[in-house]
Structure 1
Amino acid sequence: MLNSLHRHCVWLQANWTDWLPELLAFQSTKLAIITDDEELATNIPLGFVISTSKAKQLLGQTLDILVLDVRWGLSLSQLSLLAGCVRGGGIFALYTGNILSWLKAPDHQLDRYLPWPLTSAQVPQPYKQLFYRALQQGPFTDYFPTTIPGVESESLELTPAQQTVQNSLTCTPVTLLLAARGRGKSTLLGAAAAYWQQQHYSVAVCAASRQQTLAGAEQFEQSRQVNSPFPFFSPDSLLASTQHFDLLLIDEAASLPVPVLVGLLSHGKHVVFCSTNDGYEGSGKGFGIKFRQYLRQQGISFIEHNLLTPTRWGENDPLELWLEALLFSGTMRVAQKWVENTLNIQAYHSQQWLEQTDLLDQTFSLLVNAHYQTTPDNKRWLVDDPSATTFIATQQGQVAGVCLTTSEGELPRELALQIEQGSRRPRGHLFPQSMLAHGGYSDAYQYRYWRVSRIAVSQAHQRHGIGSALIAEIQSRAVSANVDMLCTSFAFDKDVLAFWQSLGFSVVRVGVSKDKSSGTYSIMMARAIKPAAQQSLSKWVAEFRHHFVCGLPLRVQDLDLVSCWQLTQPLGEATESLPLSDTLRHHLGLFAHYSRPLETVQTLLWQALQPCWLSSNRTETILLLTRVAFGEIHTGNCQQFGFKGKKDFIEQARQNVAWLLSTYEK
């Protein structure tokens, strides 16, 4: 028998004409039916129908009844998100229609992930079989309950756990507040904003969108004692301002890139980062891992709170337990201890997953914990995309490392020309499309690539060579599979870049603007397998390095010079220096050996430095002279960089420019 605060789970297989009258008989004003069926929509009162593309608008709302129509497409991310909108005692219904027909039907959600020219009508969909099993084993009935309990008026009183957190928010510079959905995190945020305002603190609430703070704003309105507006600020507006608050509350922090979170730290005396920890919005749990690492590295004091008891529904709610088992059941079973010489690497693909459900759960669990961009939909993608292969490193049956690859390339020449000209952007094929559209490398279409889209190693197994072992296994299999080139793409990180460079991968592209999801630049790297591909790759790398160095004055606004240097360094092959023009040699010589003022040769100095970025290994000198050329170091601030004073700075600059001139042949 269900607890009155447990949610009812209903599986609708009959035609909607059979169950819709019964549903509408509940006469709930908090009903939502998510569907793209126009005929069904016309039979539902206005305001209760939402298209699947707009379903995310329900985030932050509380519903009595929600029906999710998945007949034409199953999105696990959407399922996870919408389930959290249903209150305790309410109804969550999945509408599949006839299950046998649904298992074979095309799926518009899957179509979004499949690479051109594939469609869901052309490929098997093994994940639907896994989902069918989960439905059969879940808490679903095929009928609605006779009644649903009414909603008691919500108390403004916080729970003891919430009260404890609220009172501690100004005890330390940073607070991390983590909770699964339905634990009252947003309610606490709104109540805390009102409470601390009443204590005469300046308070701001920040989130990626105002929609994410609806529950908090409602609680704020109910809790406030003065007629003040909800103090919402977008991240962009805060970062662009000089505003500083006594208390800054950031909701759904995991949906913001870590560089943005770092920037927000300077806008509050006390900063609270609130987030769900189940990855339903595509944040995964990488937020907690990476952000904690940053805080510790910077010596920033923080405390962490976890809200464990649900407030929106009862404990041991059957829908919550079912979703946890469906999406995150492998969380506690990822390998925890390194054992020498026991690593085993295998590849899994498509229908092989039907017999490896436990391994699938462990694999997805590791990805959720390692990558902030991991979404529930990714679990279906790695099973259903025929171009995807998952390489798994295990120890004694437990997952220690995971690497996801996708097969790309071998595009028709006509399509490649359209991509290069900017008139087509087919699904998938990320690497060759970028080489064509952004790099202008016309021969990129013809090669077959394996792109590493995700790589993760459990914390207990890092620094043991598992990542390298995975790539070595992929390389070996790529040779047998007649692959021309391995490639990868990732958000810029010095350690990640060094990892790929150590494996022989070269940078071929750096994004021209920061990626919205990561807050930094995207990087593309490649390693050739076949000689013909190596010839092309060498040309791509040379062109990239030349263009990147020429545009360096623009890059240093967002990327430090050490990072830029790392991005442009060759893998062993140095580029020969070009002769220096007589004009440059003359002007720089007057500075190096005589009394020419530095300010008159800064632009000329950068012209002479550019070839050194492509050929010299005297890193410190080149970086120092580049900072001088760009005006980062000058007579007014030189002591901050270790110089004794203006005279010492100019003298050493002259000596270094003299060395620079000596590197060029006359």
Structure 2
Amino acid sequence: MTSTLDSLSTRALQSLQVELRHAGERRLVLIEGDRNAALNWLAAELPFLSADRGLWVSTKADSPLPALHVATPAQARIWLGRELDLLVWDGFSGNPPDGLAALAGTLAAGGLWFWLMPPLTQWGTFSDPDYARTGLDQAIEHPFAERLAKILSDAPDVIRLKMSEYVSAGERSVTSADERASATINSELSRVRDELSRRRPATVFCVDGGPEQDQLVQALVRFGLGRRRRPLVITADRGRGKSAALGLAAAELLLRGRQRVLLTAPSAEQVATVMAHARERLGAQLQSQSATQLTIVSGASLTFLLPQQMLADKPAAEVVMVDEAAAIAAPLLQRILLGWPRVAFATTVHGYEGAGRGFAVRFRKQLDQHTPHWQERTLSQPVRWAASDPLEPLVFRLFMLAATSQGDTQQLAPDPLPVLEVERWQPAQATENDLAEAFGLLVNAHYRTTPADLRQWLDDPAAVSWRARMNGRTVGLLWAQGEGEFSAPLAQQVSLGLRRLRGHLLAQSLALHAGLPQAAQQRSLRITRIAVAAPQRRRGIGQCLIAAAQAYATAEGFDYIGSSFGGTPALLAFWQRQGLQPVRLGFSQEASSGEYPLQAVRGLSAAGERLVQDLQQRLGRHWLVLAGRQWVQCQPELMAGVMRSLPAGPQPDAEDTRDLQHFAIGHRGFELTLPALQILSRCAGAADWLTALQPAQCALWCRSVVQGRSWAELQRENLCSGQRDAEQQLRLMVADWLEPG
């Protein structure tokens, strides 16, 4: 390998890295072909590049340079918030789209991303090791990978090295192959260097936040020293310097007298940049430091805590800063918002860690409700690289990080409405513009839609989609996939928890949690996503899309159609209007939405209808037992909505009725009457009666009778002033129920 140590390619790579750093740009070096040849070439070239902040994504044993940090493809996300000069991604170990999109954004100016892959012409049939994780290893074709290959083949700023040309059957030695590689790489890099020279900026690029970042730091300091309950929300594309601004502002607040600033994020690694900038700003005032805490000579400190730890410990602090907020569960964000006097939230607008646009839309409702004087700031100018950098727009195009839907902004005249067209649609065959518009609609409609979802949508052979269009614009989408059809023995194993197949989310969940193997034996169609552009909602577009899916499922012989979604009263009502009934409520709140997952289905065949009846009967029998143990945080309106759809339980008998009468007139206590009250909650007509009550009355009943919450908790929710008040309200409600007529 010594033939390459002083090769022209080595000098060209060194020179390229220097020139890229001066220009503030980065490059993708796509190494196509033989993996061993690529590793040999990298082992010879990488020692001469700046690799102190370098990462090898694959197995440690195969690292071409021992000095590189190591991560598996599945661990890529933990590097968010850090900066790299060198990224070497072994595509032969797997290519999860979210990880690729995330790590590409960690490269700083002058950074090089080496990507080892088969030749572009083979990407569509390449058996990516990551496919097995999502069931895509069963797919014959991979349109997502083919699309990536086409984009890369047309991208002029991608440096392509074809190892298959260097190691051929006719080569006499590895050395001659290396020499050919050196000549080719030199030619390719010279082309890039010449292009850089032609448009070399007048000044050398330097990492400087500029006036926009300075203004944000000032705003953060004013916020941190200002009035309580005026949270600050910061949104920006990645590389815009929001983490640096948080660090500079945190340090400034300590220097100006704040005693404790708390910092939180999904992981400590993700705030390395924040801590580094705070450390630099504090300078000589810094008394002690660690990766998670900085303390100055006055005793004031900046401390990092994981969200769960911070909420459990409840340490006092004047200011809390939340970085990468879109990647933190919504319920945790709300508790942080309400738990400290001054909270700043920062998140990226696009992407792989939770679709910051969805975060902004959903979290805005919480902010409006609890802290109406909240403020918002954005950063638009990149600071980690120059505006001329070609890698960021390439990554955004590859993974559709900036996909938008014009249907979300296009208002339609109310009368007459344009004709709605609903059609079966193949996203894998769509033009790039149509696909971007459609995917943008999914991103805006769903809290977490990432590049991994795009790959699943395009590649899954069980996927089927419909598109709604008005005036030539996509205004609605429905993405579904076939599930089930397990053999009887396999379905039985799934129901017992002995087997779990990839995919088949709804079919397997119902078989396991309800204990009904026929849910996995039957053929089902699960609606994975449904999205309607915001200006066109409440026009029946979603209903038309679901009707099209149901007609297809019936014609194709599916037994039932269903969906799994974060349960809210509005969503439950929507699905019920489409004929789907709730059959399962999950035990754990979803990390993305903070809501309990709710599954609703509709039988299409006789067997499917019997299954739905069995599922609802089983949920109804278990409802009161589980409500007080598993769903204590569930919204009362949702609890009442689900109960309204379940088969009624037994009516109160004579003894129960006597207890209720005595409770109503104040002669019997709540605890002694609770069994009768619970029976009343599930009897025929009770759910309709509950939902007809005032919202506060319905909430009080569900919280106390159904969910078993304490009087203190009800008082904190402003549902009563104490036990006596709560019992009096409940007595009046029971009296209303017992009133004849």
Q: Calculate the TM-score normalised by the size of structure 2.
A: 0.80
Q: CA deviation at 1:255?
A: 0.7
State how far apart, in whole Å, the 2-side matches of 1:659 and 1:25 are: 83
Aligned to 1:45: 66
Letter in 1 for 2:489: E
State how far apart, in whole Å, the 2-side matches of 1:461 and 1:442 are: 40
Name the CA shift for 1:328/1:644 in 2 (closer, same or farther; >3 Å). Answer: closer
Determine which of 388, 401, 408 is the counterpart of 1:316.
Answer: 388
State how far apart, in whole Å, the 2-side matches of 1:256 and 1:248 are: 15
State how far apart, in whole Å, the 2-side matches of 1:110 and 1:61 are: 27
Determine which of 200, 207, 211 is the counterpart of 1:160.
Answer: 211
Aligned to 1:22: 45
Q: CA deviation at 1:125?
A: 1.0
Aligned to 2:304: 232
Letter in 1 for 2:265: A
Q: Please list, as runs of the form range in 1=range in 2, the aligned pairs for 1:49-60 lying within 5 A after superposition.
A: 49-60=70-81
Aligned to 2:673: 602
Determine which of 287, 312, 317 is the counterpart of 1:245.
Answer: 317
Q: CA deviation at 1:196?
A: 0.8
State how far apart, in whole Å, the 1-side matches of 2:655 and 2:720 are: 32
Aligned to 1:412: 487
Matching of residue 140 in structure 1 with residue 151 in structure 2: no
Q: Please list, as runs of the form range in 1=range in 2, the aligned pairs for 1:82-97 lying within 5 A after superposition.
A: 82-97=103-118
Name the CA shift for 1:644/1:45 in 2 (closer, same or farther; >3 Å). Answer: closer
Determine which of 322, 330, 337 is the counterpart of 2:411.
Answer: 337
Q: CA deviation at 1:113?
A: 1.7
Q: CA deviation at 1:445?
A: 2.0
State how far apart, in whole Å, the 2-side matches of 1:499 and 1:608 are: 28
State how far apart, in whole Å, the 2-side matches of 1:304 and 1:652 are: 42
Q: Please list, as runs of the form range in 1=range in 2, the aligned pairs for 1:143-542 lying within 5 A after superposition.
A: 143=185, 145=189, 159-169=210-220, 170=223, 173-201=230-258, 202-224=260-282, 225-227=285-287, 228=295, 230-298=302-370, 300-326=372-398, 327-328=400-401, 330-331=403-404, 333-334=406-407, 336-338=410-412, 340-349=417-426, 353-542=428-617
Q: CA deviation at 1:550?
A: 3.3
State how far apart, in whole Å, the 1-side matches of 2:722 and 2:351 are: 52
Matching of residue 33 in structure 1 with residue 33 in structure 2: no
Q: CA deviation at 1:527?
A: 1.1
Letter in 2 for 1:611: R
Q: CA deviation at 1:591?
A: 4.1
Secondary structure of 1:569's counterpart equals helix
Secondary structure of 1:533's counterpart equals helix
Name the CA shift for 1:584/1:363 in 2 (closer, same or farther; >3 Å). Answer: same
Identity %, equivalent residues: 27
Aligned to 2:164: none
Compare 361-370 and 337-346 and name the one that shifted more.
337-346
Secondary structure of 2:650's counterpart equals coil
Letter in 2 for 1:226: L
Secondary structure of 1:471's counterpart equals helix
Q: CA deviation at 1:7?
A: 0.8
State how far apart, in whole Å, the 1-side matches of 2:350 and 2:633 are: 32
Q: In the TM superposition, what whole-angstrom CA distance separates every residue of 1:616-641 from its partner, at most 9, and x where no partner exists? A: 5211569465666557669x979976
Letter in 1 for 2:79: L
Aligned to 2:27: 8
State how far apart, in whole Å, the 2-side matches of 1:295 and 1:345 are: 36
Q: CA deviation at 1:123?
A: 1.6
Determine which of 623, 639, 645 is the counterpart of 1:564.
Answer: 639
Determine which of 54, 69, 74 is the counterpart of 2:95.
Answer: 74
Q: CA deviation at 1:154?
A: 7.8
Q: CA deviation at 1:254?
A: 0.7
Name the CA shift for 1:379/1:605 in 2 (closer, same or farther; >3 Å). Answer: same
Aligned to 1:129: 146
Name the CA shift for 1:187/1:542 in 2 (closer, same or farther; >3 Å). Answer: same
Q: In the TM superposition, what whole-angstrom CA distance separates every residue of 1:148-176 from its partner, at most 9, and x where no partner exists? A: 99xx9987x75322221122231571111
Hey, which of these two has a bigger chunk of helix by percent? Answer: 2
State how far apart, in whole Å, the 2-side matches of 1:126 and 1:187 are: 38
Aligned pairs, number: 647
Q: CA deviation at 1:65?
A: 1.9
State how far apart, in whole Å, the 1-side matches of 2:53 and 2:520 are: 52
Q: CA deviation at 1:474?
A: 1.0
Q: In the TM superposition, what whole-angstrom CA distance separates every residue of 1:476-527 from its partner, at most 9, and x where no partner exists? A: 2212221111100011222212211121111111111222333221111111
Q: In the TM superposition, what whole-angstrom CA distance separates every residue of 1:223-268 from its partner, at most 9, and x where no partner exists? A: 1233205411221122224444322110001111222211111233
Compare 246-255 and 51-60 and name the one that shifted more.
51-60
Name the CA shift for 1:284/1:375 in 2 (closer, same or farther; >3 Å). Answer: farther
Determine which of 127, 136, 152 is the counterpart of 1:106.
Answer: 127
Contact 2:715-2:721 at 8 Å conserved across structures = no
Q: CA deviation at 1:279?
A: 1.1
State how far apart, in whole Å, the 2-side matches of 1:600 and 1:506 are: 33
State how far apart, in whole Å, the 2-side matches of 1:456 and 1:297 are: 25
Contact 1:74-1:109 at 8 Å conserved across structures = yes
Name the CA shift for 1:585/1:426 in 2 (closer, same or farther; >3 Å). Answer: same
Q: CA deviation at 1:58?
A: 2.8
Contact 1:492-1:521 at 8 Å conserved across structures = yes
Name the CA shift for 1:415/1:27 in 2 (closer, same or farther; >3 Å). Answer: same
Name the CA shift for 1:307/1:441 in 2 (closer, same or farther; >3 Å). Answer: same
Letter in 1 for 2:322: I
Q: In the TM superposition, what whole-angstrom CA distance separates every residue of 1:418-463 from its partner, at most 9, and x where no partner exists? A: 1111111110111111111111113212211111111112222222
Name the CA shift for 1:585/1:261 in 2 (closer, same or farther; >3 Å). Answer: same
Letter in 2 for 1:218: A
Contact 2:58-2:93 at 8 Å conserved across structures = no
Letter in 1 for 2:421: N
Secondary structure of 1:601's counterpart equals helix
Compare 618-627 and 488-497 and name the one that shifted more.
618-627
Name the CA shift for 1:80/1:600 in 2 (closer, same or farther; >3 Å). Answer: closer
Letter in 1 for 2:339: H
Secondary structure of 1:133's counterpart equals helix
State how far apart, in whole Å, the 2-side matches of 1:77 and 1:437 are: 29
Q: In the TM superposition, what whole-angstrom CA distance separates every residue of 1:513-560 from its partner, at most 9, and x where no partner exists? A: 222333221111111112221122012112112212333333563124
Gaps of 5+ in 2: 1-18, 161-184, 197-203, 288-294, 296-300
Matching of residue 553 in structure 1 with residue 625 in structure 2: no
Q: In the TM superposition, what whole-angstrom CA distance separates every residue of 1:201-244 from its partner, at most 9, and x where no partner exists? A: 23111112112111111111111233205411221122224444
Name the CA shift for 1:652/1:487 in 2 (closer, same or farther; >3 Å). Answer: closer
Name the CA shift for 1:197/1:136 in 2 (closer, same or farther; >3 Å). Answer: same
Gaps of 5+ in 1: none
Name the CA shift for 1:4/1:414 in 2 (closer, same or farther; >3 Å). Answer: same
Q: CA deviation at 1:193?
A: 1.0
Q: Calculate the TM-score normalised by the size of structure 1.
A: 0.89
Q: CA deviation at 1:99?
A: 2.9
Aligned to 2:174: none
Q: CA deviation at 1:660?
A: 4.9
RMSD: 3.3
